[in-house]
Amino acid sequence: MKIHEYQAKGIFEQAGIPVPREKVAASQEEAAAVAREIGLPVVVKAQVLVGGRGKAGGVKKVDRAEDVEGVAGRILGMEIKGLKVEKVLVSECADIDREFYVGIIIDRSQRVPVLMASAAGGVEIEQVARETPEKIVKQAIHPGVGLLGFQARNVGMALFGDAGLAGRFAAISRRLYDIFVERDCSLIEINPLVLLSDGELLALDAKINFDDNGLFRHESQAAMRDMSAEEPREVEAKAAGLSYIKLEGNVGCVVNGAGLAMATMDLIKRHGGEPANFLDVGGSSSPDKMVTAMRIILSDPNVRAVLVNIFGGITRCDDIANGLLRAKQEAGIQVPLVARLTGTNEEEARKLLEGTEVTPAATMAEAVKKAVELAGGES
């Protein structure tokens, strides 16, 4: 789960990581008031949960008090990569000497958190990693003891070549690690971490992603979720215990298991169609879940056919068949349905679907071919 810059900065401030004087504003009037309080010049920054807002014109420096309302108003009306800007952060203008990067992520193969830092700040770290990996300094963190003082100082020395700055860097990065652990983060990042002309370090930007799996023990963090940034169908699916992601094609799919769902989408594409969605109905599937799944898929007007691909283990094929028939009755489904149900109780399911308008298929490949054909694509 992603949170906004201003929310992450709030967490930084609480932890004692230096941030600029700044405040969030939801209207141009509010933005102007904040600017008066802080003093000009200020930077007005769009608060959206996607990268690249600077390039999209969502970050502007304002020198004159009378211009703040206008600039804030323009940014507040913007849409960046499909997301509407609802809030701006009005921030003091820092006197920057140099820009750095510091972040903590989980190294999946080493299975430990890693502190990453680079003197190439202000650039996406993935780009630095691709183009100039030698510019990134890494320090693996042992989960038992945490980020140790000397480890953080050594990274600081590699970055700054100055013991005083390395010490300040170490304090900031150890606080970052404390946040990372206490709040179950999956990523925490300061980019850029700036060295000011007066020799101080400041977190000019802030990014925190929470581990979704840890949210159950952090109620206040879960409450930070910005629902306006989420696709309504995905939210509805999640509430029903389904995992759904909307795509651009016209073949809807209902599958049990994330891997099989992806493989089904891939096969649709391979046979000349385009998947309309990813949908994993999860483990034990009651008929109710099936009804919800069908309703969500069919609320996408692009869908021309629906493919149901189930490899039943815990999931019972007769539950799926019953759900499908109920959905057909209740939702008055107009588009053709193709079902491939194999595994637990497949015989019962086959009998249930006999004589209905649901097209049966014996294998995944056959089901995909039929669904693509019925959706009007080639096969």
Partner 1 sequence: MSILVNEDTRLVVQGITGRDGGFHAKAMKDYGTKVVAGVTPGKGGTDVDGIPVFDSVYEAKAETGADVSIAFVPARFATDAMFEAVEAGLRLVVCVAEGVPTMDMVRVFDFARGRGTRILGPNCPGLISPGEAKVGIMPSASFARGSIGVVSRSGTLTYEIASHTGEYGQSTVVGIGGDPVIGTNFIDCLELFNDDPETKAIVLVGEIGGTDEERAAEWVKQHCRKPVVGFIAGHTAPPGKRMGHAGAIISGGSGTAADKVAALEAAGIEVVYEPQDVAEKLRARL
Positions touching partner 1 (CB under 8 A) are 106, 108-109, 111-113, 124-126, 129-130, 142-144, 181, 184, 186, 211-214, 216-217, 243, 245, 247, 255-263, 265-270, 275, 278, 280, 311-314, 343-344, 363-365
Q: How far is the CB of 1 from partner 1 (least distance, A)?
A: 10
Q: How far is the CB of 31 from partner 1 (least distance, A)?
A: 29
Q: How far is the CB of 135 from partner 1 (least distance, A)?
A: 16
Cα–Cα nearest to 71, from 84, 89, 83, 50 = 89
Cβ nearer to partner 1, comparing 137 with 265: 265
Cβ nearer to partner 1, comparing 71 with 364: 364
Q: How far is the CB of 106 from partner 1 (least distance, A)?
A: 6
Cβ nearer to partner 1, comparing 73 with 214: 214
Known catalytic residues are: 101, 189
Cβ nearer to partner 1, comparing 52 with 199: 52
Cβ nearer to partner 1, comparing 28 with 292: 292
Cβ nearer to partner 1, comparing 17 with 317: 317
Q: How far is the CB of 298 from partner 1 (least distance, A)?
A: 20
Q: How far is the CB of 246 from partner 1 (least distance, A)?
A: 9
